[in-house]
Each structure stands twice: as C-alpha cells, then as structure tokens.
Structure 1
Amino acid sequence: MSGSLTIAVLADSTDIAPLLGRYLDADRYALQYFTDRGEFLDYVEISKHELDCVVFYSQAQLLPAINYLYERGLILPVVIVHRLIPPNAQTPIHTALTNLPASSSYIYQPSEVILAVTELAGIGGAIDKAIAKFMNLTPIVPTSEDSEPAQTRTHIKIPEPNFLLQQQSRLADKLSERLGYLAVYYKRNSQQFFRHLDRQHKQELLAGFKSQYRKIVIEYFADSRQIDDKIDEFVNEIFFRDLAVSEIVKIHMELMEEFSDQLKLEGRSEEILLEYRLTLIDVIAHLCEMYRRSVPREL
C-alpha cells in the first residue's frame, strides 16, 4: 500500500477493529491489530522504520508498553484512546491521565494525542495531528537521572541524541514518497504561523510578502515562463505561515493604490489596474489548490 499510513494498534480486545475499519479509509491506512503486548512490541521493534503511528486502546497494557518503548528510545507518533471511567475508578490509564504532575502534560511524549472513545469517529484527524506534532518534537540529551516513571516525565530524553531526528527525517521522507503532496502538511510548524508571531516579526514578514507579490504583479503579463514558479514559491511561503487570504487581498489593494498614484502622476489611465485582478485570482486559486491537495481529509 504505497499511499497508506502504517498504524499499529494495541487493544484489550478485537472489538475496536470494526470501529477503526469504519472510520479509517483502507486506501489510506494499513492497520495492524494486537491484543498481546509482547506481540505488539515485537512488531514495533521489527517495523519501527516503517511505522507511522501507534494507537493504544488498552487499560492495563498501556504504561508497561510505553515504558518499554521509551526505555529503548522508540519515540513514535501516538494516539491514546481511553474509555469513559467512573470518577472513583483507579485504573492505570485513569491514574496516568488524571494525576500528571504540574511539570508534565503527557504520558509518553509531548506530541501524543489523547482521544476519548466517544470521539472515535475523529481517529483519522487524531492520527494526522499526532504525526504533525511529532514532526516538530525536539530531542533532549539524556542525563544520569533518567529514572522517572512514564507518567511523570517532562522532557524527551533518548539514548542517542540524534535518534529522534533520524526518525523524523525518515518519516518525512516516507510521507513525501508515499503520500506525495499530502506530506507538505506535516512539515508545517504552528509556532511559525503568522498569527503567533510578535508585531515586529509580522510587519517584517508582510513587507517581504509585499515585495514578492509586487514582482509577480509586474511580471504577470510579461509572458514570463518563470511566473508560475514565482507564484508557487509565494503561495508555498504563505501556506507554511498560515496567512489568511484577507492579508493577501490587503497586500494586493495596497499595491494597486500605489500603482494608481503613480499612474495619476504620469497622467495615464488607471483602467489597466483592473486587469491585475487576474493576478490576485490566480494566486488565491494556487493557494486553494495547495490546501485541497495537502491538508488531510479528516481535518
């Protein structure tokens, strides 16, 4: 299945199999089910370079399995599905989810995604989110005091500093090869999104986008073979910054006002500026197509 994501599932029973089969398209997800922790861990060891994500739906086996993976430096994208539990229950998963110390917000690693069984219909989106977050993890060099239990860790400490980076690189290459354009989505870093930047950085970024767009506008009707490449480059940067279309329209309108003032000074008609609406439409169309082809369907 060259276009599918490989998912290993550890569950208490096979009851979850038909549910996941209902919510996960077989053309996109290759699922491997396990109810035995030993068999699951053996599979993960053997297939660690092909695995895209693991899904846990097991009360008793969760923490032992996570500790095993963690101790061996097997940091993988993960979704943890949990059942609704009575308030007074004290199962391992309940303890891990509710008694995390203030210094920690995860059981296995920071990019894990927790999903209630009542939200199982969103498992595809949860898997995509887990992979996207995993791509932005940063490894921490281990210390001699790495003896904390799974539910109290605050950092990603791994036996080899480059291990996580190697896994991320392999996953990025694999996604690019197997999913094509879809892999672009997983390379986005939400911390670099326009809305999360400070005011000065936003202004600098917009100035750069305006400069790029100016060049596109000037060359748009010049029969340049490079114009499509320039539009693609412009749209690619906008996509990774998650810039709103309204900001693109604002850049376009500001440029048109500047050109209008220049034309008035030269005593020329402003009607030509109406033609540049095609430039804006073309850029927005490129951006829409990029989102259509790259954003996972579940999101």
Structure 2
Amino acid sequence: MSNSSSLTQFLLLAFADRRELQLLHFWLFLAISLAALLANGLILSAVAWDHHLHTPMGFFLLNLSLTDLGCICTTVPKAMHNSLWDTTTISYTGCAAQFFFFYFFISAEYFLLTIMCYDRYVAICKPLHYGTLLGSRACAHMAAAAWAAGFLNALLHTASTFSLPLCQGNALDQFFCEIPHILKLSCSHSYIRELGLLLFSISLALGCFIFIVFSYVQIFRAVLRIPSQQGRHKAFSTCLPHLAVVSLFLSTGIFSDLKPPLISSPSLDLALSVLYSVVPPALNPLIYSLRNQELKDALRKIITGCFSEATNSPSSACYVPH
C-alpha cells in the first residue's frame, strides 16, 4: 500500500506480458506514428503553401492536424520506449504531464471538430452569410476558444485527478496515463469529485454531438434540395469526411469512459484506447484528403515538387508551386 505523496512513478503494464508482443507493439506504434507525422505534416504544408486552401475550413484543418500531432507525440513515444527497452515505468510528474497534454489536445480536437461542423453548416445552409459569419477574425476567435477550452478542461482534470490520495499501488493496465485507470488506484471517496467532472465533460461532449447531429440534419436537407448532381456530390464530399472523423472519435472515446464494468477487460481497454488516441491522428488526414479535391491537388503539388527537386538537387529543399 502506498500513498500518493510517496509515489515517485507509475507502472504502465499494457505491453508487459511477453517480449515478442512488446516488440510487435513497438513496430506497430512506430509505423502508425510515422504515418501520422507524415500525413499531418503534409496537411500542414499544403494548407500553409497553397493559397486555394487559405479558407476557414483549411484554417481549421491546420489546427486539427496540430492536435493530431500533439496526441501522437504525447502518448506514443513513451509507450514505444518502454516496449523497446523492456521497461514499464513513468515518473509521477511525467505521468501528470502526459495526462495534461493528452487531454488538452484531445479536448481541443473535439471542439475544433464541432467548429468545423458549424463551418460546413454555414457554407451549405447560409452561403450568402459565409463571409460575415466566418471571417478571418471570427475563425481566429473560434480556434482560440477551442484551444482555451481544451486547456481549461485538461487543467481541471489534471488538478482533480492528481490531488486524489492513491493507495491501491501504482500499476496502470494501460500504455499511457488515463483517467479511469488512475481512478482505480484511489482509496478515497473523493474520487467521486473527478467522476462528476468526467461526467460533466462527457455531457459537454454529448451537447457538441447533438449540435453536430442537428447541423447535419439541416445540411443534408439543404443538399438534397440542390438540383445539380455535381453540386450535391461536392457538398457531400466536404461533409462526409468530417462526419466519419467525428463518429470514430466520439464513439470510441465515450465508450472507453462509460463502458459497463461487466464487459471491461485489459485487452478491450487497450483496444479502445488505441482506437481513440492513436488511430484517428493517422486516419484523419487520409479521410479528409480522399474526398477533398483541392487538398488532393495541393498534396500532389507538394509530393511532385519534392520528387522533382530531389531528382535535380538531392540537397535542396522541396519547392511547393502555388
């Protein structure tokens, strides 16, 4: 039995069973993280360099890529380090920092996804007011509000969780520091305070989801009234990727926090955590780029520019034509 005041480290035991599985997890996480870094890096470069993507949706997509990179860089490197070197430890302060930054990025990402839904709603249902409602100043304010709300949410959860007395050991059956697994170590009824805060956050997330569903009902009604098949296809191509990203993100995240104890197991917890913390940052750029023609054109320019420059002068940097 230990007290939180004497804890100096936690044990991340998700991948600690067999050496072969540890190495497999290392290579899988390495592949996913490299794919996420490359894909989101390309998205950032495309939005920054191509003036056709200097739109509200491009601006929010740039912010979304930053949150994806933050999520990957917060959780995966430590898990890879532990798997490669056959260790399980993370320091108390390292766990608190990882906890804070992960919930900061994950919360900001969800608020950004909600704002991106509003962008699609205005673009399709109120096109004449698009420039007024989503000017550069309004977009900057909304993005700043998303980041600030994510910061506040992460700060409250971190302060509440790490102020709890912990006397049930220091072992976490997870590959990163996550709220439900830390709460299991608490020996005080004060953990109800964190559960209340968690329920409040989930209620806020469900409120955003209801807003997203309502917006998409209006969007699809407006799209179906478009007489041109090409116009309907273009409208759907900008909305369906966003809806797919939101559905994957929200379903796995909420189920991970609210699943009944009877169906809880280490393997299920691990799979759900990977699905909402590791997979979306790698899939989001792919989902958006597959359906967005302007983004595909910009990415094609970057890739062809890099290859042509590498062929002509291997030491030169990639040039992105406008």
TM over 0.5: no
More helix by share: 2
TM-score between the two structures when normalised by the length of structure 1: 0.26
